[in-house]
Structure 1
């Protein structure tokens, strides 16, 4: 019998060690890996330019309260967490290629250690496939992850929603909203 472990699942679903390195996350921080993608009918460079200005991200990332751009490579993120709390970290861009990808990692002391990549791949006449691959440590471990899911604050749920809002914003210039406003949904615990 071989000592080599194999796993035919997509690498983002793999339980094997080293999955983050296989998807190209440099300097990985975290133990939970997720990936989400959306096709946006805009050129890759236009999407990259909007995304790379991190001050733009709270306009479509629902749980991001604010991002303070500290310099060309560093930004402080303040993100909503369950129970009316916020979590914070400083993200550092570790690699990037204009119009193609951005990779980051959190600095030591992050409330939620994380790292990842956002890639922008040409899809011909359909536009651009934007893929977010994120590695993170949920606060409170498995219990914290369950609580975050219950309050719709779990990163896998948010990544899908945020990418869909990014698509709406870039293709139409606005984000469709439900009849109730954000505060009303938060009062309901959603």
Structure 2
């Protein structure tokens, strides 16, 4: 039986192998674990794409990104939080780009976390823009590393959902909602 193609992120599809579907569309795919998530942002596609394409903006809503240094028009150096207060880093290269439609990347050889992915931007008419992130990665330490990352809330599937939710808040409201107390206040109270 043939099923109609749906536009859900590959890992949420009800048909086929999710990991294969998620990495199928990636150029130079790197990574054995695949995740995908999507959000609809009530802003025009050109505005959403432009904000995301300026990589200096990404740490403003990507919680685990410590810094992104743009080294060239198509390359950048990423430093990201890892479990237990550590950081990991890699150089990334844009492998495909279509303005207002998609940005795809792959990590360069020697990355602490080999990864690749793509973010697509689809006009949803009066609803705004559907942003879909698909990421393939190799967690440090394999399966055990993935479990540890989940325990510390640093696993990419968890972070991608949270980051896109913060991106939506930032684009629609101009700010990201935060708890009434800061993380430092929680720590001082022993919570």
Pair in the same fold by TM > 0.5: yes
2: CA distance, partners of 1:146 / 1:188 = 28
Alpha-carbon offset, residue 185 of structure 1 = 5.7
Alignment of 1:29-108 (within 5 A): 29-108=30-109
The runs of 5 or more residues in structure 2 that have no matched partner are: 1-8
For the 8 Å contact 1:79–1:86, the answer to whether it is kept is yes
Question: What per-residue deviation string (whole Å, max 9, x for no partner) do you get for residues 52-101 of structure 1?
Answer: 11010000000000100101000100000001100000110000000000
1: CA distance, partners of 2:190 / 2:108 = 31
For the 8 Å contact 1:20–1:28, the answer to whether it is kept is no
Q: How high is the TM-score relative to the length of structure 1? A: 0.88
For the 8 Å contact 1:151–1:189, the answer to whether it is kept is no
1: CA distance, partners of 2:124 / 2:18 = 30
Displaced runs of 4+ in structure 1, greater than 3 A?
13-21, 182-190
Please name the residue that 2:11 is paired with.
12
Aligned length, in residue pairs: 180
Please name the residue that 1:134 is paired with.
135
Alpha-carbon offset, residue 172 of structure 1 = 0.7
SS across alignment from 1:104:
strand
Q: How high is the TM-score relative to the length of structure 2? A: 0.87
Taking a change above 3 Å as real, the CA distance of residues 186 and 46 of structure 1, as seen in their structure-2 partners, is farther
The runs of 5 or more residues in structure 1 that have no matched partner are: 1-9
2: CA distance, partners of 1:82 / 1:21 = 25
Please name the residue that 2:119 is paired with.
118
